[in-house]
Amino acid sequence: METIPSLLEARLRAAVENAEGVEVSVTLASDTRFGDYQSNVAMVLAKHLKANPRALAQGIVDRIQVSDICSAVEIAGAGFLNFRLSKQWVQARLEDLRADAQLGVPEPGKRRTIVIDFSSPNVAKPMHVGHIRSTFLGDTLARIASFTGFRVVRDNHIGDWGTQFGMLLFGWKNLLNQDALEADPLLEMERLYKVVSAQCKEVPETLEAVRAELVKLQAGDLENLSLWLEMIHLSQSQFDSIYSRLGVKFDVTLGESFYNERLHKVVDELRSLGIARESEGAMCVFSDDAVPPEQDPFLIKDKDGWRANPAMVLKSDGAANYTTTDLATLQYRMEKWHPEEIIYVTDGRQQLHFRQFFAVFNRWQPELAKQVRLSHVWFGAILGEDGKPFKTRSGETVRLAALLDEAEERAYSIVTEKNPALPEEERREIGRVIGLGAVKYADLQPNRQGDYVFSWDKMLSFQGNTAPYLQNAYVRIRSIFRKLVDSGAIWEPGAEIVLGLPAEEALGKKLLQFGEVVLQVLSDHRPNILANYLYELANTFHGFYEACPVIKAEAGLRPSRLELCDLSERVLKTGLGLLGIEVPERM
């Protein structure tokens, strides 16, 4: 199904004269008292033609043919056009929506590919809350891209090659506690890493030995390579258990080490093309003055003005780095999958890295660069209730597995309190669905670029903009259908939809917005748009449910109201599913 904004845009385009080069766009009305959708096209056009916007708007209103869709098109303010949908049209469209497996979400991605690089934790370090956001955001974007028809390549670019392995190898050979390793490999590897890195600061011999281990590994020493493989293997199995618990899937896991043999070729090409040059023993890329300084990632401003801020592609010790690896990886992805977009999901501190590396790629591979949209989808930090980076009471980084355990446990207690009569097993399962849902939703609901405060009480509350609130809305609808069956009635789906009361009309219109909301999430990479839509939908549903009895409705009104309930249930479940959140049958 085409979305409502795109239907209206087509009608508008036909009614606008001299519109070449002018973007015709229709958005949801910011204030529903004046209409359901709005457009500023008359104002944009007026600027373009240096004409009076209200007069242009009037011309458009006179010419536009939308009487089948709208009951009114009005001019407001400086020249806004407001569209009000007609009740008949909304009713008919709801019937189409009901028949649509996509619930109104178009599939523009057919025969197109998106690569999503997300989660990407580092080997031999436990996944902690910092990886939460990349995993949740990336998973949601992947679900949405795939729902809208794209072929999606979910790529876990794990950090399996780096200086940490010098310390880990040294620690493994000299300080390993075998029992601890068997009990919790990541915890033990993390301990080794910490102990050795502290020792390196105090004992010069340790630092030497650590460097030597790294050099041996890089030179292909068999013992070190096999230990390294073992560490990767142990880490991967812990990552996998978290992913399966979270319902997160990857199509490929190609760690940094996969690109090792391509790195020197990248550097050689950059050098011979004159893109990289030597600087203080390292190979670096400097500004080519192609853009104004404010937009130039290779310049930085300090008190003396602009100065060079080069991107290093080869360190003075001859080792390639994160940037080199990302360049090689990007070339590989282009050759392998021909994607039209690659999305990288990492925290905001990597913004400069991505701006530089995208710019280097554009200079190195201009032809490939033209074929792809490179998007760095970055996010802020998770804070504790004290406003500082989220830590355990004793000041340690919070481990993801422990966090998820606590979420499930807390949700289980809440469910037990509210519903002690349910069988234990069911309460556990509901606790799992609510607990994981709460953690995911708390992460996806805020604007990703801000920091957010991690608060158990807030995220597990049944009131407010939370996962439990949305899951509860779903559960309430399910219970309407259960009561109906208990009362001996039968539900025959497919009845005519009649929007009698304003609350019914409001719900109907909200349901119709699902398609455009999902598309917008994909173009802006902002799952919070979907989260907030679902929250509004749940609120609108509650408003409808208060104003319009369903089970006790008079016989003539009931079938249509049941249709609205059923559609609300489907949109809520599908929408939460796109956020990676499950729904319980009761709670």
Residues that bind ligand ARG (CB under 6 A): 117, 120-122, 157, 159, 326, 329, 344, 346
d(CA 364, CA 377): 23
Shortest distance (Å) from residue 326 CB to ligand ARG: 5
Q: What is the DSSP letter of 549?
A: -
457 CB contacts (<8 Å, ≥6 apart)?
Answer: none
Close Cβ partners of 88 (under 8 Å, ≥ 6 residues apart): none
What's the CA gap between 177 and 190, in Å, rounded?
Answer: 12
Q: Which of 208, 111, 223 is nearest to 166 (CA)?
A: 208
Contact yes or no for 166/216 (Cβ under 8 A)? no
Using the minimum distance from each CB to ligand ARG, give the nearer residue, 356 or 568.
Answer: 356
* Angle, CA of 127, 336 and 150, to the nearest 5°: 75
117 vs 429 by CB, closer to ligand ARG = 117
Whichever of 39 and 156 has its CB closer to ligand ARG, that residue is 156
Q: Residue 114 burial (CB < 10 Å; 0-12/13-18/19+)?
A: buried
Query: Sign (positive/negative) of CA torsion 443, 444, 445, 446?
Result: positive
Q: Say which amino acid occupies 211.
A: R
- Helix and strand tally (H, E) in the chain? 22, 15
- Tell me how far, at minimum, the Cβ of 266 lies from ligand ARG, in Å: 14
Indicate the residue among 228 and 514 with the shorter CB distance to ligand ARG. Answer: 228
CA 74 to mean position of chain CA atoms: 37
Q: CB-wise, 117 or 443, nearer to ligand ARG?
A: 117
**Which is closer to ligand ARG, CB of 98 or CB of 128?**
128
What is the smallest separation between the CB atom of 240 and ligand ARG, expressed in angstroms? 17
User: DSSP string of 458-480?
Assistant: HHT-SSSSSHHHHHHHHHHHHHH
> In this complex, which beta carbon is closest to ligand ARG, that of residue 86 or of residue 365?
365
CA distances from 195 to 40, 79, 178, 203, 399 (A): 61, 67, 16, 12, 18
- Supply the minimum distance, in Å, between the C-beta of residue 260 and ligand ARG: 15
- Closest approach, Cβ 159 to ligand ARG, in A, equals 4
Residue type, 440: K
How large is the C-alpha radius of gyration of the chain? 28
* Nearest distance in Å: CB 354, ligand ARG: 8
Could you tell me the smallest distance in angstroms from the CB atom of residue 334 to ligand ARG? Answer: 14
Q: Could you tell me the smallest distance in angstroms from the CB atom of residue 121 to ligand ARG?
A: 6
